[in-house]
Amino acid sequence: MTRKHFGTDGIRGKVGEGPITPEFVLKLGWATGKVLGGGGCGKVLIGKDTRISGYMFESALQAGLSAAGVDIGLLGPMPTPGIAYLTRTFHACAGIVISASHNPYDDNGIKFFSANGTKLPDDVEHAIEAELDKPLICNASADLGKATRIEDAAGRYIEFCKSSFPSYKSLRGMKIVLDCANGATYHIAPSVFTELGAEVVAIGDQPDGLNINADIGSTHPATLQATVKAEKADFGIAFDGDGDRVLMVDNLGNLIDGDELLYIIAMHSQQRDRLNGGVVGTLMTNLGLEHALQRENIPFLRANVGDRYVMEQLLANDWSLGGENSGHIICLNRTSTGDGIIAALQVLTAMVYSGKTLSELLSGMTKYPQTLLNVRMEKRVDVMDHPLIKSAMTAAEAELADTGRILLRASGTEPLIRVMVEGQDARLVDSVAAQLVDSVNQVLSSAN
């Protein structure tokens, strides 16, 4: 069944433009209530990041769910993985997240978690879309849903995060810079790391509704890198706007991406005989990680880009560790979805057990030069099947021969064509990437 509204990670777009409008989101709340509200459903939880439009969409969802007769628990600002966790522990029938993740403040979106804290199955999303085509019929007054605010939501999630770090270990003696992206971790992450004993310097912890992800956070790590060096910190940790991604910075200001964090977690898990199976990456995962894991006899699989596809491979193989180079890391032995704080704490666990720095923990992995370029589309264009692109890809693959690989794909969350080239020769990689970008721009120009 073709999806009309749902993308790879819920529904997302520009605020005020379809479908991210108050009218649609109200109807979406109602449709969700109709699909999930039967069978003695307890309540649906709603959480959000710090975008100013979150107030509006929270109210719209609340009204729609109430009209369908479903009770609502309001979590307020909360990291996406925190909403997944609380959905499980409150035995709610679903969790709804109001967030556009790493996108700018004038975007927003709606995504869902099942009662198990995982993404909704396809058949449930299809059922919600089918309900959206029906007229909204409000329940009788006696059968409307009620809303309550869950006052201790932040404290519950903070304690859960801390529980993923060894209780007999401490972060005392460590100075950490935390970049909260002016997003949903602003009131969570500083407490977690401080209560575990670290000296914390927080940046990006003053959200105003408009500054989420604005030149800060995991998509803009330069501020964190500079702050780590200025503060003479041991390392830095950057989250994105909704807290499901994490990147780190070592004491010299060098960026540690998701592939490298996966390597550290995998190696520590294997050394303690706690790595269940292998590691799942994506088509974007650096060859250096794959080869490093191969040397340690750790199985590695590539999934399509997107955390839902990583999750599918993990579940299909009964493995527990996977992720993306963007920093979306899934530790199924700890929680049910990608969680930036939980992933960072697994890296810190490896540090305190080994007594090594981040750079020392990475000594067994060498990344291949990789260039990733984004080409913005003014309107959606099917670039992939264009003859010019096919010809350019064939030429690029011949130029790289057996020394690298190419990936060209449309983003599932933004109007972008992503061009990735990877290989042993950095100059050749840059040259091939530039040629492919030129070809994509030619196709887009001819379509406008």
Token representation of residue 317: 């193989």
Single pTM value for the model: 0.89
Among 37-41, 231-235, 426-430, name the one with the lowest average pLDDT: 37-41
Q: Over the stretch 145-173, which tens digit does the pLDDT of each residue have?
A: 999 999 999 999 999 999 999 999 999 99
Q: pLDDT above 70 covers what percent of the chain?
A: 98
**50-64, 113-127, 233-247, 398-412: range with lowest mean pLDDT:** 398-412
How would you label 5-28 residue by residue, b for 16+ Cβ within 10 Å and e otherwise?
Answer: bbebbbbbbebeeebbbbebbbbb
Cα 251 vs. chain centroid, distance in angstroms? 25
CB-CB contact of 97 with 74 (8 Å): no
* Residue 40 pLDDT greater than 70, yes or no: no
How many beta carbons lie within 10 A of that of residue 208, not counting itself?
11
130-149 mean pLDDT: 95
Lowest mean pLDDT among 7-11, 24-28, 30-34, 122-126: 7-11
The mean predicted confidence, pLDDT, of the chain is: 94
Whole-number pLDDT of residue 446:
84
User: pLDDT value at position 63?
Assistant: 98
- Known catalytic membership, residue 101: yes
Quote the pLDDT of residue 354: 96
8 A C-beta contact, residue 124 and residue 36: yes
Q: Are 404 and 421 in contact (CB under 8 A)?
A: yes
Give the pLDDT confidence score for residue 83 in this predicted structure.
98
Q: Which amino acid is at 240?
A: D
What is the Cα–Cα distance from 316 to 236, expressed in whole angstroms?
A: 34
**Residue 282, both tokens:** 């994506």
CA-wise closest residue to 28 among 8, 1, 6:
6
385-435 pLDDT, tens digit per residue, is 899 999 999 999 999 887 788 989 888 767 899 999 999 899 999 999 999
Residue 139 is predicted with a pLDDT of 95
Which of 101, 164, 320, 336 is labelled catalytic? 101
pLDDT per position as a tens digit, 269-319 = 999 999 999 999 999 899 889 989 999 999 999 999 888 899 999 999 999
Q: Write the DSSP assignment of 199-265 as a string of letters.
A: EEEEES----SS-TTSS-STTSTHHHHHHHHHHT-SEEEEE-TTSS-EEEEETT--EE-HHHHHHHH
Q: How confident is the model at residue 447 (pLDDT cuts 50, 70, 90)?
A: confident
pLDDT reading at 1 higher than 60: no
Q: Which residues contact 185 (CB under 8 A, 6 or more apart)?
A: 79, 178, 239, 243, 340, 341
Q: Which residues contact 417 (CB under 8 A, 6 or more apart)?
A: 374, 375, 377, 383, 408, 409, 410, 411, 440, 444
Q: Which domains does the chain have, with CATH numbers?
A: 11-151 (3.40.120.10), 171-254 (3.40.120.10), 257-342+350-367 (3.40.120.10), 370-447 (3.30.310.50)
